[in-house]
Chain A
Amino acid sequence: MLTASHLCHDYGRGPVLDGIELELEAGSVTCLLGPSGCGKSTLLNILAGLLKPTSGTVNADCARPGPALGYMAQEPDLLPWLTAEKNAALAAQLHGGIMAPDAGKRAALFRRFGLAGCERLYPHELSGGQRQRVALIRTLLAEPKLLLLDEPLGHLDAGRRLMAARAIRQYVAEHRATALVVTHQLDEAVHLGDRIVTLSDRPTRVTGIHRLDSPNSRREAFMALSETLASAPVAAEGVAA
């Protein structure tokens, strides 16, 4: 579905990404875990085609009309002059003709994410977590094949976080989509992912890939990763070596 080979990036003050190898499989959720400032957002921006890497290549095979990519930035970027529901439907506006705005589906997603009644509010009238959910709805509503989500659940409470994680999993299963989700929460990653990819600190490389295909492997990955994170950053370097 998407393959990144030997991605390196440098903003001009030393290497940030240092040879990232990543393969995303269709129909699966990959969680990206790594220390703050290691370059997760940078990597996502490169994969989304918003940033040109210093070197390396990205290959995505999604040939279909309309928005194939669902990108959600870490910083909230709802349009302040549109209501929540108009923001959610922005993809249809930006792709008029190809995509028909589907009010029924939108309303269902608003209900599902606990935002019923917020449709007519403007972003500045929403809480941080509500804004984040609207941005997530906006991303899902466009029905992309590839989801690149940068800390999509960062501002949510524990219950909503699990609920949203389930909604993302379900979306991926139903649409045979592929998702890469940046997160800082180990439990979230274990709950959400089919795989967890861990990154080192800068210069950043992939330090480990944990497959989570059974409850057992989830538990094991959780224990192993807790150990590594608790003794980071020294241990993280150890894993890399």
Chain B
Amino acid sequence: MRRLFPILLPLPALFLLIAWQGFVTGVPQRLFLFGSPTQIFQVALQELPQAAIWHDMGVTLSALLAGLALGTLAGTAGGLLLALHPVARAVSRPYLIFFGSVQIFTLAPLLVIWFGIGWGAKVAMAALVTGFVALQQAASGATAAEQHYLGYARSLKADPSRVMWHIILPGALHWVLAGLKLNIGFATLGVLVGEFISAEDGLGHYIFKASGVYDVPRVWFGVLLLCLMALALTAIADWATKRFLPLQGH
């Protein structure tokens, strides 16, 4: 099994591509609706040497990273503040549940109104979704650390600022990091939604534009680029999780 793995791994993909190609070949209507792997390949050859597609990728990636960073930082800080104050924690809980049930993506049109159709709206969208997840993770992590690990520190009469630094903060970060992979997906979605609704560049805009003129191969190509981007980010997050999150080491 172990030895066969490298041979078996590409088989499903190969099968899918061949089936797809076979399905559309010779039937113009199907080719129009679904595109074909060879067409996508041709689009790639055409687009990749040009600056425009790299610009779109750069815009999407930078908005995604900026939103992720902003959301994670702000969310973590907010979550810590809420969790640390017993009153704030009690009062904020129902609100968190309420806002948790709001589909944040439905706010996208508003964000476009507030931030315009440029880069800002996408970042805001990504920051808002990821910020909410980070907030909840940080609050839960800090609360869990308080519940499980504080007895010993309190029995030592340790200085609160040191307890904060050595126990509460790592506990919260632990949970935030555990939510990072989920959040990369959310940030990607946030940027895409922003770009679908209204934008002048970015991969989402590229896909949207191509679908507007029924250019199916270009849509697929954009989707493919997005997948690759998300895969790369997830791989980095995987590495970071393993490196900084020994709890999930298995």
Residues of the A chain whose Cβ atoms lie less than 8 Å from the Cβ of B78: none
- A93 & B246 in contact (Cβ 8 Å cutoff): no
Is B151 a contact partner of A94 (Cβ separation < 8 A)?
Answer: no
Main secondary structure on B side of the interface with A: helix
**Residues of chain A at interface, number, CB under 8 A:** 28
- Which chain A residue lies CB-closest to B154? A50
Q: Are A95 and B247 in contact (CB under 8 A)?
A: no
The answer to whether B185 has its CB under 8 Å from any CB of chain A is: no
Chain B, residue nearest A135 (CB): B152
A-B contact count (CB 8 A): 70
Q: Choose one: A96, A122, A138; the contact of B247 (CB below 8 Å).
A: A122
Q: Is the CB of A81 within 8 A of B152?
A: no
Interface residues of A in 33-56 (CB under 8 A from B): 45, 48-50
A94-B247 in contact (CB<8A) = no
Interface size class of B (residues with CB under 8 A): 20 to 34
Contact in complex: B155, A69 (CB < 8 Å): yes
In the complex, what's the smallest C-beta–C-beta distance from A231 to chain B, in angstroms? 36
Q: Is the CB of A50 within 8 A of B166?
A: no
Q: By the criterion CB–CB under 8 Å, are A81 and B156 in contact?
A: no
Provide the residues of chain A in CB contact with B249, threshold 8 Å: 122, 124-125
CB contact under 8 A between A94 and B148, given known A79-B167, A81-B245, A122-B246: no
For chain A residues 86-103, which have a beta carbon within 8 Å of chain B?
Answer: 90-91, 93-96
- Are B170 and A81 in contact (CB-based, < 8 A)? yes
Contacts of A81 in B (CB 8 A): 170-171, 174, 245-247
* Apart from A70-B155, A80-B246, A148-B155, 4 more pairs, CB < 8 Å: A77-B152, A79-B149, A81-B245, A122-B246
State the B residues within 8 Å of A (CB): 148-149, 151-159, 162-163, 166-167, 170-171, 174, 245-247, 249-250
What are 13 residue pairs bridging A and B, where the CB atoms are less than 8 Å apart in the complex?
A50-B154, A50-B155, A73-B152, A80-B174, A81-B170, A81-B174, A81-B246, A93-B166, A94-B156, A95-B162, A96-B162, A124-B249, A125-B249
